[in-house]
Chain A
Amino acid sequence: MPGDVSAFDLVLSGDPGLYAIVRLSLLVSLSAVLFAALIGVPAGALLALTRFRGREAVIVVLNAMMGLPPVVVGLAIFLLLSRSGPLGSWGLLFTPQAMVIAQTVLVAPIIAALTRQTIEDLWVEYREELAAMNIGPARRVATLVWDARFSLVTALLAGFGRAAAEVGAIIVVGGNIEGFTRTMTTAIALETSKGDLPLAIGLGIVLISIVILINALAWGARRAGERYAG
């Protein structure tokens, strides 16, 4: 296939347009994972350690939200941010910020649900020891999050995987504007529909490579940490 050769040429030649797209994709997805972690980890830990009426229903809904359809989330954020929407005055529609918001909404439930499960399992194991050491609630949460940190990396990776792979939400709220809100996934969708397969394939290769690279880095960090702390 001649398309393959051109795709590799594009990647290897360091095409500036391609790298701007890669940069924005990473910026949006990593920002979304960061914000989603800031929301999802404390929320998941809180849900793991508190008991209230309706808690089980919240867990079921949260677990279900791991499978939120990106396009629907995109639509909801679009309606919020559109000129006539409640947050229209922020003027964020069709900006990278809107894409970060949409992906944060997609990723936060994943991180929260996986954090909840991880922390709850560890809590079952630690409960009596911490009670015997007279550990208060705030320190208990900090201890559990810290001791679960290697497992929580997996939750963050799952979130990043979701953000890096999705196209539905960011294409709706970002608009796939060249040089401004065009990311790898939106570009692949567009170039494929236009028939520019070399660029689409090149972007696909870059995207998959980056996802593998980030997972490898996280894996290495996890292994190193476990050697030290078990």
Chain B
Amino acid sequence: MLVEARILAGEVAILDGLSLTFSAGPPTVLIGPNGAGKTTLLRAAMGLLPLTSGRVTWGGREQAAPDRRAILFQRPAMLRRSAAGNVRYALAAAGVPRAQRAARIEELLALVGLEKFAARPARRLSGGEQQRLALARALARNPALLLLDEPAASLDPAATKAIEDIVRAVAARGVKVVMSTHDLGQAKRLAGDVVLLHRGRLLEHTPAAQFFAQPRTQEARKFIAGELLV
């Protein structure tokens, strides 16, 4: 939950007094033009960016260690290890006992459809495969809240579908997914609720069906119609 969150870069507000609660249920999708603050919001929610003012609370507590949160960056870095080695590293970082790691690696790689590539160097995987491996790495933390920053940006339709299927499977297990996207179609396919951001401010936060059928704000109508928000 973000309360009156504000992040300033010099004079410019990247997040401007934004309050937002992520409640259990289907994915929350953040949309908005470039520079709207989607990535900043996700990083702040992960605790990776200090707020200029306001606070991030976690189950009612402030600034808890990011134990049950995980994030997938738009361009995740691949550790110079095998696919399995990447997941093993994340499991070790999450404090999973050594004896359980092999089974968890197998399970996570199967979940993202990479079980055949366990021994392959992560950096030799394709873009879509790397994104799925990064997703497995994030899930190694056994998160209650999974933050995804444009998880399918620059992927082809097949790779995008693979990511969306995993997101659905993960959400069905009770993990709260919060993701940003440029792709309105993706928002329609995945979102339980939609958050429209513009210039660091929250313009609209409504259930997805309502957002697309009856947008409340002028900006939302424009955005849905495919007009440019400037």
Contact = CB atoms under 8 A, between A and B. Distances in A.
Interface in B48-89: 48, 65-67, 70-71, 73, 76-82, 85, 89
B141 interface: yes
A139 B90 CA distance: 12
- Of the four ranges (under 10, 10 to 19, 20 to 34, 35 or more), the interface on chain A belongs to 10 to 19
Interface in A183-227: 226-227
Contact of A132 (B70, B78, B89, B120): B70
B93 A126 contact: no
A27 interface: no
Interface string A112-156: 000000000000011011011111000100010001101000000
A126 B77 CA distance: 6
A226 B121 contact: yes
A187 B77 CA distance: 50
- Of the four ranges (under 10, 10 to 19, 20 to 34, 35 or more), the interface on chain B belongs to 20 to 34
Contacts of A131: 48
A128 B89 CA distance: 15
A133 B94 contact: yes
Nearest to B121: A230
A228 interface: yes
A229 interface: yes
A126 B79 contact: yes
B48 A128 contact: yes
Given A128-B73, A132-B70, A147-B80, A230 B122 contact: yes
B36 interface: no
A132 to B, nearest CB: 5
Q: Which of A126, A134, A150 has the most CB of B within 10 A?
A: A134
Q: Which of A129, A132, A147, A227 has the most CB of B within 10 A?
A: A132
B121 A129 contact: no
A157 to B, nearest CB: 19
23 contacts: A125-B77, A128-B48, A128-B77, A129-B73, A132-B66, A133-B89, A134-B67, A134-B93, A143-B89, A147-B79, A147-B81, A148-B80, A228-B82, A228-B121, A229-B80, A229-B81, A229-B85, A229-B121, A230-B78, A230-B80, A230-B82, A230-B122, A230-B124
Interface of B: 46, 48, 65-67, 70-71, 73, 76-82, 85, 89-90, 93-94, 120-124, 137-138, 141
A-B pairs, 5 with minimum CB distance: A230-B121, A230-B123, A133-B93, A147-B80, A129-B77
